[in-house]
Structure 1
């Protein structure tokens, strides 16, 4: 079985708030509108402005749209975007092309140590980036984050974040305190009433958390410990796998599923508004949860290094951060942007609260999605023990 993080595409021109706070799954976002005008300097960008600095950006398509390229051009940068579908795709492309081909590479922060170990990205002092003091300190100072080094230099400029969670239908089930991932294996839940979302490695990671494996050791699971997590996951069968958020919501609303692992906490609030009452709850369990922080990374030895640093500054600006939130709806790591959105009220502020993004310290309870130390062993464990 191929382990993948792909999902369906989205239209990057469509505001999240146009559809009742619908929000996006991370899997849908990272494949970003791959069918939307993928050409010229990756995306049909307007003509290069004379006198601007050039910068080559390897990224999900959603972050190199014509609108973003135009904003960068207004700030003196000619961005040439090179699209990639997944973190693994970007890592492979950067490893092949290196600093001669790219200046900035995007990624989920769980991948940052892999890039660093391979010598592909350069640590930098966040204080050297103008406006970095406007980022929540939770995303820039804690050494427990995979992209923050012991000397407080960082491997990635934190951009957006979100968390997965445990969700349940309150008409059918109530987990006991402290709420744990072990609720998925509760004997009071009928077989087949658990629904999972996203990918096999996510399911194995959650199984490991339920077994008490610490967050910093999950992706290092191997041998007997990995097989124990696989067997524990197999005990959950037959579990349902949601192909999308709508399928998950319909299953919870109808009682086809009683509980499961959702890809964002806002799903519960959205369903409850649809029902006009509290039919579901979603939380980050006591063991923590999966989640992500994404952001741009500085390619080691980048040919256009000065332009790359300027790119980081522009990306962190309120103008771009607020545009990104209006377009995609993912919580910003920017404290200034978050506060502006909350003060503005309306659907944008409500979605932030639904996702728990007004409390950024929740990010410190997350296991950031990244590659297992031994992806092949994980794939074999899932295929041979859990199966289809």
Structure 2
């Protein structure tokens, strides 16, 4: 994924201090999870002060941790496909399952998954899940059920795609009916490259910053985009008839959890916060604030049926998602994506 947000407080440089007494945690995360509502919630309901620094991609998260971030931060929120990489690289710390009693509230589909365990140790329990899929301006496109509008010349110059290899190459793979998008060999990568190069003249923007795609949809500059669910609420608040769909070809699934950074001196506090994010109260607040789906069934039970439907919270549909994986040859994926953009 990577959820978007509104802003935050940057952490000053220097080594990560220990704040065990005043319960301060240095939080390296997506901007959504460091937004003011979440900082206030941590203070009020968990007794913790969050000092936030943001990353905009999983690659940025990994690079900064490798570049000395393990001395600066106490916890991160990785996407599930980067947990094994981070654990193998010695960048994150395992947790004691006994300190996460709220894990029992989580949907069974997100309990004890291989993605969050490495060499028999637990590195997180998801508090949020969802899909990257299609947002559209219903007034301009009508109802959307497939990826067709992303490739339709009728919308030339009004289409936005994400500037991220794993998302956009997966879109191409699903469009072509490739069964395992994140396990593509060279021949399949070339097919996807050809498709996305043919799409390129139609694309207004390959976006990196969530605010950019949100603003383009809001202004009408773009009418259909591959993006995050969080664009929908602000667009509807602005009076735009914004639609959201997991297209019939598939959508890119993800889930995220709070994970301790290697060497944190505040492991107990990180576990305390991770457990808090699994609570019914946190999940309900998160859903109402961001419109992302809680992994906590207890949280979903607190939402109105209309909202549950609107958020697409139906674990029976998880089989329609292609959950993100790190490709076996990630460098080659990066090369292919750069070739698409340079074509």
Query: Which range, TM-score by smaller chain?
Result: 0.7 to 0.9
Q: Structure 1 stretch 363-372 or stretch 154-163: which is displaced more?
A: 363-372
Specify the alignment match of 1:361 in structure 2. 316
- Over the aligned positions, Cα root-mean-square deviation in angstroms equals 4.2
Separation in 2 of the partners of 1:241 and 1:121? 38
Specify the alignment match of 1:160 in structure 2. 128
In structure 1, stretches of 5+ residues that fail to align are: 6-25, 43-47, 344-348
SS at structure 1 position matched to 2:66: helix
C-alpha contact (below 8 Å) 2:106/2:298 kept by paired residues: yes
Assess, with a 3 A threshold, how the Cα gap between structure 1 residues 307 and 261 changes in structure 2: closer, same or farther: closer
Specify the alignment match of 2:297 in structure 1. 335
C-alpha contact (below 8 Å) 1:27/1:198 kept by paired residues: no
Q: 1:382 aligns with which of 337, 340, 343?
A: 337
- Distance apart, 1:383 and its partner CA: 3.2
Specify the alignment match of 1:15 in structure 2. none
SS at structure 1 position matched to 2:304: helix
C-alpha contact (below 8 Å) 1:234/1:385 kept by paired residues: yes
Separation in 1 of the partners of 2:46 and 2:140? 56
Specify the alignment match of 2:85 in structure 1. 114
Separation in 1 of the partners of 2:21 and 2:274? 19
Assess, with a 3 A threshold, how the Cα gap between structure 1 residues 241 and 334 changes in structure 2: closer, same or farther: farther
- Distance apart, 1:380 and its partner CA: 2.9
Separation in 2 of the partners of 1:366 and 1:233? 21
C-alpha contact (below 8 Å) 2:214/2:231 kept by paired residues: no
Separation in 2 of the partners of 1:66 and 1:377? 38
Specify the alignment match of 1:83 in structure 2. 53
Assess, with a 3 A threshold, how the Cα gap between structure 1 residues 313 and 251 changes in structure 2: closer, same or farther: same
- Distance apart, 1:159 and its partner CA: 2.1
Say yes or no: does 1:63 pair with 2:33: yes
Assess, with a 3 A threshold, how the Cα gap between structure 1 residues 182 and 116 changes in structure 2: closer, same or farther: farther
C-alpha contact (below 8 Å) 1:204/1:229 kept by paired residues: yes
Cα-to-partner distance string for 1:23-50 (whole Å, 9 max, x where unaligned): xxx5642xx41xx4435799xxxxx8x9
Separation in 2 of the partners of 1:385 and 1:171? 27
Separation in 1 of the partners of 2:232 and 2:39? 32
C-alpha contact (below 8 Å) 1:165/1:289 kept by paired residues: yes
SS at structure 2 position matched to 1:367: strand
C-alpha contact (below 8 Å) 1:159/1:334 kept by paired residues: yes
C-alpha contact (below 8 Å) 2:77/2:259 kept by paired residues: yes
Structure 1-normalised TM-score?
0.67
- Distance apart, 1:207 and its partner CA: 0.5
Q: Structure 1 stretch 189-198 or stretch 302-311: which is displaced more?
A: 189-198
- Distance apart, 1:301 and its partner CA: 4.6
Larger-Rg structure:
1
Assess, with a 3 A threshold, how the Cα gap between structure 1 residues 150 and 303 changes in structure 2: closer, same or farther: closer
- Distance apart, 1:240 and its partner CA: 2.3
